[in-house]
Amino acid sequence: MKDLYGSPGKVSGLLLRIGQCVFAAASIGVMVSASGFSSYTAFCYLIASMGLLVLWSFALACLDMHALRLRRDLRNHILVSLFVVGDWVTALLSLAAACSSAGVVVLFAKDTNLCRSQHLSCLRFQISISFAFISWFLLAVSSHVMFWLLASV
């Protein structure tokens, strides 16, 4: 298999996973701190999806650290296939969650002006969604690297 930036078992791969974890956790933290988020399905789905992303990325970060410490090569066909499926499912779910929440926030802030009239904490919603998008972007980089590794065998 080729040696790409962000491959599993490399420092760049580990940094990507840590970045995904941190931003997803920050997204959950900011959303939970916003009052009234639980009344909206899209925001609850964002929290669930970011929770899954944290678990997945944390598990892979641990695996990367283990491989780096013991100098193991994680780039075998079965492991990379597993990473590809997990990465793509998590990336799709997190993009869907971030976009649906963004759609709801645009409705609140622009289409109906509910942010002002109902005193919703729209700024926190927006910050949380931005973190979710950053986390998704880092996961998308990992997913593409994994898919490229698998395809170039």
Task: Based on the shown chain and the rule CB under 8 A, indicate whether residue 117 belongs to the binding site for a second copy.
Answer: no
- Cβ neighbours of residue 45 closer than 8 Å, sequence gap 6 or more: 97, 100, 101
Binding mask 73-112 for a second copy (x = CB under 8 A): -------------------x--xxx-xxxxxx-xx--xx-
The residues, ordered by sequence, that sit 6+ positions from 90 with a Cβ below 8 Å of its Cβ are: 52, 53, 56, 139
Least distance from C-beta 4 to a second copy, angstroms?
11
Q: Using the minimum distance from each CB to a second copy, give the nearer residue, 33 or 41.
A: 41
Closer Cβ to a second copy, 25 or 97, answer by number = 97
User: Among residues 19, 39, 30, which one has the least CA distance to residue 140?
Assistant: 19
Distance, in Å, from the CA atom of 84 to the CA atom of 66, rounded to the nearest integer, reads: 19
CB atoms inside a 10 Å sphere around CB 38: 12
Query: Binding residues for a second copy, how many (CB under 8 A)?
Result: 23
Minimum CB–partner distance for residue 135 and a second copy (Å): 15
Alpha carbons 84 and 139: distance in angstroms, whole number: 11
Q: How far is the CB of 69 from a second copy (least distance, A)?
A: 30
- 52-75 burial, b at 16+ Cβ within 10 Å, e below that, comes to bbbebbbebbebbeebeeeeeebb
Site for a second copy in 37-56 (CB under 8 A): 39-42
The smaller minimum CB distance to a second copy, of residues 58 and 147, is found at 147
Would you tell me which residues interact with a second copy (CB under 8 A)?
Answer: 39-42, 92, 95-97, 99-104, 106-107, 110-111, 144, 147-148, 151-152
